[in-house]
Structure 1
Amino acid sequence: MRSSTRWVGGIAVATLALGTIGAAGAAAAPGKPGGPRYVAGASGVGDAYFPFAGNGGYDVQHYDLDIRYTPPAPAPAPLEGEFEGVATIDLIATQDLDRFNLDLRGMAVHAVSVRGRPAASVAPPLPGEEVDGAAFWHVQDDAARVWELTVQPRPKVKAGQSVRVVIEYGGTTMRPRDIENALYGWVTTRDGALVASEPEGSMTWYPVSDHQTDKATYSFEITVPEGKVAVANGVQPKPEETADGWTTWYWDAPDQQASYLTTASVGDFDLREAYSSGSGVPIIDAVDIDLSPTRLATTNASLGRQVAMIDFFESKFGPYPFVAYGSIVDDDTVGYALETQTRPVYSSQASEGTVSHELAHQWFGNAVSPERWQDIWLNEGWATYANWMWNEERGIRTAQAAYDNWYNAPRGADYWELQIGDPGELGLFASQVYNRGAATLHALRVELGDTAFFEGAQLWLDRYDDSAGTSEDFQEVYEEVSGEDLDEFFQIWLYDQVKPPADWTTP
């Protein structure tokens, strides 16, 4: 969940020199006659909104991130941190690769090795120009929103081979922004960093195939000045270690995870890890010690309901999907929350409604992610509807009343013109995606009845667990459980650019 709209790209691949960034289909010289033909892995997965996010030609299995971070000095010093990292990336080639790409923005690359063999740093080649030997080059074009690290291994990589890539990198961190001036990625704060990367901001702090169709497992070693706390996804496999004024924090995230859901937030946190849900899910919270008394009271009350929320959502959606849960509550002014996997980030306080929203995302968005960013209503609609359900469970307001409130509010035609099934680059985080998305689910529930509705939710989660799906996949699941043709229903709710009829079963 992000509270601000964002620019999401839209540059056509053809506008860039394919030889420079290694786009798909730029074939290298063929091998022996009849043998493999090595190609450049694609510089993006082809997402309509983010054409250069993610990469082709391989499937990442695991990221090990070893980070050393120095937060900014006290004010009035510049709000800049110093970051050094070593990313060890295990991947499997899905093509015979001459070279492949990783996404990396705003960092300098110091060294690259593939299967233990170092690569030379070279200038980006001109289109059609060949580079001899093992090499790497880095294109960073802010105007075109292209940030591509190209790695050319030697020997070349055959499809099916496992490859370990080690990248040493670093730089000065600030507060990266998108074209609409919204903060995202590694956001430097005075006491550390708030890390929230939806939709493609993970590339601001590690080299990555930055799209949710390439999920992987993660491990972290984050070294910070003694007294600072570093919090990432998953669980602590061993206690932190302090020596010579530095503390290293260890985190392990063994579940499949989309890159935008990773975090490694640093700050002056009170780390709380003394309780678990009714089903045994360990809950680890990190709360900024500098929250105001009012925000701290709101946060504590909201986090105190996490156990009951997990129990409730498990009763509706099935078992909680990951090894742990918890929250990171930072004292910053960014103004948003994000469902970072196992440990959502809240930038100023955690309110009860937002906590229930981000928890529901662990099922809808995290366990099952949108295959295309245009399908983001499957994230935000479900999380918003889950909050409606939670409010009903708490006796605050029924889901039907929440629907009626939304439906009957006076709105102009422009509100209804946004298609939540394809909201466009500037509409990813529009309120319609959240609220019309939730209303779509309520209408579907009324149309099909509770039994089929919740059976469909659980089938969706089971079938696409650790993976991603589309709106068309979602419709297919509900047609399967209900035996109904839902073409007209989803056309009305996701794509028609008018207010849905009052009788939302079928007009």
Structure 2
Amino acid sequence: MFRSARLVPAAALLALALALTGTACDGGVHGTPGGSGVRDPYFPKAGNGGYDVTHYALTLDYAPGTHHLTGKAVITARATKDLSAFDLDLAGLDVGSVTVEGEAARWNRAGQELTVRPHDDLGKGETFSTTVRYSGTPRTLTDPDGSEEGWLRTADGALGLGEPVGSMAWFPGDHHPSDKATYDITVTVPKGLQAVSNGELTSQNTRGGHTTYAWHTAQPMASYLATVAIGHYDITRATGPHGLPVLTAVDPAQAEASAKVLAKIPEIIAWEEYNFGPYPFSSTGAIVDRPDDAGYALETQNRPVFPGAPDTTTLVHELAHQWYGDSVTPASWRDMWLNEGFATYAEWLYREDHGGKSAQQTFTDLYEADDEAVWAFPPAKPSGAAHISDSPVYQRGAMVLQKIRQKVGDDTFYDIVQGWAAAHRHGTAGTADFTAYVEKKAPDKDFAAIWRDWLYGDGRPDHP
């Protein structure tokens, strides 16, 4: 049997060919979901796949009387793959609308995940803007170790603290330290209150019984280092090394107790620059709230937060984090010792340089003390999310640095700590990056025993 051929229109043939090759007729992108979580070993749901945030523009309006927060987050990001959907981390709060590139996007909530489906798929390498409007009563979250973070109510306002994942309580984002971005944070509060944040104050306007404060952070920042402090503060401005602006915001009840130690900030920054290299940010300072407002100090970028007047040692520690933790940020929460070991060692060095015991004597005293908590686990392998801020991460982490100093001598040691801060300035790095860097800087030395016994080994090493 013979059938006559049926002519097929050229346009239909083209559409068929494009479909077979996976290319859309309209030149669009066929993406896949970005995925929730970046598989952090301790906080697997934190962060999201498929994109890299470059900038957050946050506009917040907070009413302390009703604890109500109204927010708009404009998130600029670059797609790292073809995307049909992507996730943002957001705990609680009510989402009113989401747009991507100005067009309404579909979205849904599941736990801390806000999944966004843009009107058109996004191509790999494409820069796109997402706007999320949200409101509600922001939450205080409880860490695995029992401490509180997120949005903390204070006697006269609120305090936003983010380590490790608390920032998702007050703005949507990619809340993992591996994704850093610049920030503009604008906060409106009732007239008479201040709103202090990271970076530099770019404007302040009062209208209709409310005051709006706009803060700009030009250097990349991990979201856990973002902060907003709302309340009554005494604001003091000073100048540090090389004309560095110093801004402190102190609860009036803590002003007298804080004045003497906060006056040391320029001197401490100068000392840390001498030891660690150029200060990595465009301003510095401190926020001092009341002792009951938070249970810990935190190295929020540019301007650490303290619960009550800090002592000099704590101030040295948190300012050292501006190099180690804030500028050089851990690639994952398993690398926490790169934050806390360095900042603790800064305390040892400061004591050594200011008439106290040497870092070696501090090391020896710690080794010989009957404190089993120090040896509970290796600094590079905390035993779970509840323990990333435990003693081994701080004290034994500092001991690793002292062992390196013993091995290489002071000249090479300071080359290492300064070079490490410079090599990863405003970036992220992990433990393997650090050990490789040390070995590169001292190629004639064998560090195998230090890594095996002090960094990764269980229990107290046999020899100090």
Counterpart residue number, 1:243: 207
**In the alignment, is residue 33 of structure 1 matched against residue 17 of structure 2?**
no
TM-superposition CA deviations, 1:249-272 (whole Å, max 9, x none): 010000010010000111111111
Amino acid at match of 1:263: T
Q: Structure 1 or 2: larger helix share?
A: 2
RMSD of the alignment, in Å? 1.6
- How far is the alpha carbon of 1:138 from its aligned partner? 1.2
Structure 2 counterpart SS, 1:211: coil
Q: How does 1:409-448 map to 2 (within 5 A)?
A: 409-412=369-372, 415-423=374-382, 424-448=384-408
- How far is the alpha carbon of 1:415 from its aligned partner? 4.4
- How far is the alpha carbon of 1:175 from its aligned partner? 3.0
Distance 1:32 1:244, change over 3 A: farther
Match of 1:68 among 13, 37, 61: 61
Counterpart residue number, 2:244: 281
Q: Which moved more, 1:344-353 or 1:403-412?
A: 403-412
Amino acid at match of 2:51: Y
Find the aligned partners of 1:180 and 1:466 in 2 and give their Cα distance. 28
Counterpart residue number, 2:220: 256
Question: TM-score of the superposition, structure 2-length normalised?
Answer: 0.92
The answer to whether the 8 A contact 1:419-1:496 is kept is: yes
Counterpart residue number, 1:167: 132
- How far is the alpha carbon of 1:182 from its aligned partner? 1.8
The answer to whether the 8 A contact 1:298-1:351 is kept is: no
Q: How does 1:464-503 map to 2 (within 5 A)?
A: 464-483=424-443, 484-502=445-463
TM-superposition CA deviations, 1:377-434 (whole Å, max 9, x none): 110000000011111222133212221221111134x642312111022210101211
Q: Give 5+ residue unaligned stretches, structure 1.
A: 1-29, 73-79, 120-134, 141-146
Find the aligned partners of 2:446 and 2:21 in 1 and give their Cα distance. 51
Aligned structure 1 segments of 4 or more residues deviating by more than 6 angstroms: none
Amino acid at match of 1:308: E
Amino acid at match of 1:268: H
Structure 1 counterpart SS, 2:310: coil
Question: TM-score of the superposition, structure 1-length normalised?
Answer: 0.84
Counterpart residue number, 1:86: 72
TM-superposition CA deviations, 1:353-393 (whole Å, max 9, x none): 11100000000001101111111011000000001111122
The answer to whether the 8 A contact 2:376-2:392 is kept is: no
Amino acid at match of 2:62: Y
Find the aligned partners of 1:212 and 1:181 in 2 and give their Cα distance. 21
- How far is the alpha carbon of 1:110 from its aligned partner? 0.6
Find the aligned partners of 1:253 and 1:498 in 2 and give their Cα distance. 42
TM-superposition CA deviations, 1:265-311 (whole Å, max 9, x none): 111111111x11122211000000123xxxx4442221111111111
| Structure whose CA Rg is larger | 2
Amino acid at match of 2:448: D
Find the aligned partners of 1:439 and 1:83 in 2 and give their Cα distance. 44
Counterpart residue number, 1:351: 311
**In the alignment, is residue 156 of structure 1 matched against residue 121 of structure 2?**
yes
**In the alignment, is residue 185 of structure 1 matched against residue 147 of structure 2?**
no
Counterpart residue number, 1:303: 262
Find the aligned partners of 1:231 and 1:191 in 2 and give their Cα distance. 14
Distance 1:31 1:329, change over 3 A: farther
- How far is the alpha carbon of 1:155 from its aligned partner? 1.0
The answer to whether the 8 A contact 1:335-1:348 is kept is: no
TM-superposition CA deviations, 1:338-362 (whole Å, max 9, x none): 0000010112222211110000000
Match of 2:39 among 36, 39, 46: 46
**In the alignment, is residue 98 of structure 1 matched against residue 84 of structure 2?**
yes
Q: Give 5+ residue unaligned stretches, structure 2.
A: 1-17, 24-28
Q: How does 1:252-401 map to 2 (within 5 A)?
A: 252-273=216-237, 275-291=238-254, 296-333=255-292, 334-401=294-361
The answer to whether the 8 A contact 1:177-1:184 is kept is: yes
The answer to whether the 8 A contact 2:374-2:396 is kept is: no
Find the aligned partners of 2:450 and 2:180 in 1 and give their Cα distance. 31
- How far is the alpha carbon of 1:456 from its aligned partner? 1.1
Amino acid at match of 1:325: T
Find the aligned partners of 1:446 and 1:415 in 2 and give their Cα distance. 20
Find the aligned partners of 2:227 and 2:374 in 1 and give their Cα distance. 34
Amino acid at match of 2:446: D
Distance 1:32 1:354, change over 3 A: farther
Amino acid at match of 2:269: I
Distance 1:309 1:180, change over 3 A: closer
Distance 1:86 1:314, change over 3 A: same
Find the aligned partners of 2:423 and 2:241 in 1 and give their Cα distance. 25
- How far is the alpha carbon of 1:179 from its aligned partner? 4.6
Match of 1:111 among 93, 97, 103: 97
The answer to whether the 8 A contact 2:341-2:394 is kept is: yes
- How far is the alpha carbon of 1:180 from its aligned partner? 4.7
Q: Which moved more, 1:58-67 or 1:398-407?
A: 398-407
Find the aligned partners of 1:298 and 1:113 in 2 and give their Cα distance. 48
- How far is the alpha carbon of 1:178 from its aligned partner? 3.0
Find the aligned partners of 2:396 and 2:378 in 1 and give their Cα distance. 10
The answer to whether the 8 A contact 2:160-2:170 is kept is: no
Identity %: 39
TM-superposition CA deviations, 1:119-151 (whole Å, max 9, x none): 2xxxxxxxxxxxxxxx101112xxxxxx00000
Find the aligned partners of 1:499 and 1:383 in 2 and give their Cα distance. 22
The answer to whether the 8 A contact 2:88-2:113 is kept is: yes
TM-superposition CA deviations, 1:35-88 (whole Å, max 9, x none): 45411002011111111101110110100000000113xxxxxxx611000001
Q: Which moved more, 1:485-494 or 1:430-439?
A: 485-494
The answer to whether the 8 A contact 2:337-2:393 is kept is: yes
The answer to whether the 8 A contact 2:145-2:385 is kept is: no
The answer to whether the 8 A contact 1:65-1:221 is kept is: yes
Counterpart residue number, 2:12: none
> What number of residue pairs does the alignment pair up?
439
